[in-house]
């Protein structure tokens, strides 16, 4: 009975904090009360609060940081449960390169075409800023790869479809895991050329062109990786 009561209390606290985060009462990055203070506020034991925080963290709604600047912070990493499931598939060798590229063709081609329809001035400005590579980073394959991930996520955000954005964040996490050992400067520089063309078509509000260019890019990436990655 005690375990059931603890679970009920924990679930109630999870729901309470989750609603506040989703409604914006807690902003992303805002520090929540410390564990002890949360226990006092909700009139429960610290073990109930710890259970609640574990659940919230698994949902991507809080981040718990250790150290002097640590604490409990509100988050909106809605993709985390999906990302964790996908990582499990990768770890179990259930995901192939073809699986990854099939999903990329579906999601990212659509994201590019929808971005061409819905992107606003701020979106275009942000995407263009990612095309400006500092001189000292032009040969840094890891940095270029991370920058490319930002651009693809930016395209999803520019589509103005929050479901697509969450799926894209999950996909990017999968790509980081699956291709964590793949770093190639020549590929990244070729990618930059393709991305400039894609963003130009988005700026011109040409969804067919944007989608077609993204499809060509992903197919080209698939072929390159199949030639160069075991």
Question: Which residue carries 């989703």 as its tokens?
Answer: 22
Q: Which of 33-37, 70-74, 192-196 has the highest mean pLDDT?
A: 192-196
Q: Which of 71-80, 96-105, 174-183, 209-218 has the highest mean pLDDT?
A: 209-218
Q: How many domains does the chain have?
A: 2
Q: Give the CATH number of the domain where residue 149 resides.
A: 1.20.120.530
If asked whether residues 164 and 180 sit together in one domain, one would say: yes
If asked whether residues 106 and 60 sit together in one domain, one would say: no
Helix 162-178 × helix 141-158 angle, to 10°: 160
If asked whether residues 154 and 85 sit together in one domain, one would say: yes
Q: Average pLDDT of 110-116?
A: 97
Write down which residue in 47, 74, 101 finishes a domain: 74
| Model confidence, pTM | 0.71
If asked whether residues 113 and 130 sit together in one domain, one would say: yes
Token pair, residue 42, equals: 């909700």
If asked whether residues 142 and 223 sit together in one domain, one would say: yes
The larger pLDDT score, comparing residue 77 to residue 99, is at 99
Give the rounded distance of the alpha carbon of 87 from its chain centre.
Answer: 13
Q: Give the CATH number of the domain where residue 55 resides.
A: 1.10.10.10
If asked whether residues 123 and 56 sit together in one domain, one would say: no
Per-residue pLDDT, 3: 65
Per-residue pLDDT, 11: 85
Write down which residue in 20, 43, 74 finishes a domain: 74
- Per-residue pLDDT band for 81 (boundaries 50, 70, 90) equals confident
Per-residue pLDDT, 2: 63
Instruction: Flag whether pLDDT at 70 surpasses 60.
Output: yes
If asked whether residues 208 and 153 sit together in one domain, one would say: yes
If asked whether residues 114 and 203 sit together in one domain, one would say: yes
Share above pLDDT 90 across residues of the chain, in percent, rounded to a whole number: 41
If asked whether residues 123 and 157 sit together in one domain, one would say: yes
The larger pLDDT score, comparing residue 112 to residue 180, is at 112
Write down which residue in 74, 97, 125 finishes a domain: 74
If asked whether residues 189 and 213 sit together in one domain, one would say: yes
Instruction: Flag whether pLDDT at 87 surpasses 70.
Output: yes
Q: Average pLDDT of 45-51?
A: 88
Domain that holds residue 109: 80-228
- Per-residue pLDDT band for 1 (boundaries 50, 70, 90) equals very low
**For the CA atoms of 177, 179, 181, 185, what is the dihedral angle to 10 degrees?**
-130
If asked whether residues 6 and 98 sit together in one domain, one would say: no
C-alpha distances (whole Å) from 56 to each of 23, 75, 109 are 15, 9, 33
If asked whether residues 66 and 91 sit together in one domain, one would say: no
């Amino acid at each position: 009975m005690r375990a059931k009561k603890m679970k009920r209390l924990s679930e109630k606290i999870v729901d309470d904090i989750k609603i506040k985060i989703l409604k914006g009462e807690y902003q992303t990055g805002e520090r929540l009360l410390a564990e002890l203070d949360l226990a006092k506020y909700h009139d429960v034991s610290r073990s109930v609060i710890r259970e609640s925080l574990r659940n919230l963290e698994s949902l991507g709604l809080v981040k718990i940081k250790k150290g002097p600047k640590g604490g409990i912070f509100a988050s909106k990493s809605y993709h985390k449960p999906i990302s964790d499931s996908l990582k499990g598939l990768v770890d179990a060798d259930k995901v192939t390169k073809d699986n990854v590229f099939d999903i990329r063709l579906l999601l990212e081609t659509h994201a590019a075409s929808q971005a061409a329809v819905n992107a606003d001035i701020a979106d275009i400005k942000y995407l263009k800023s990612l095309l400006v590579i500092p001189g000292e980073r032009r040969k840094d394959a890891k940095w270029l790869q991370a920058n490319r991930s930002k651009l693809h996520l930016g395209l999803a955000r520019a589509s103005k479809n929050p479901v697509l954005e969450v799926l894209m964040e999950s996909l990017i996490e999968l790509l980081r895991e699956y291709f964590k050992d793949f770093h190639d400067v020549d590929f990244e520089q070729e990618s930059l050329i393709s991305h400039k063309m894609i963003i130009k078509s988005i700026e011109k509000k040409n969804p067919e062109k944007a989608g077609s260019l993204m499809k060509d890019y992903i197919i080209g990436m698939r072929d390159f990786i199949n030639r160069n990655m075991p």
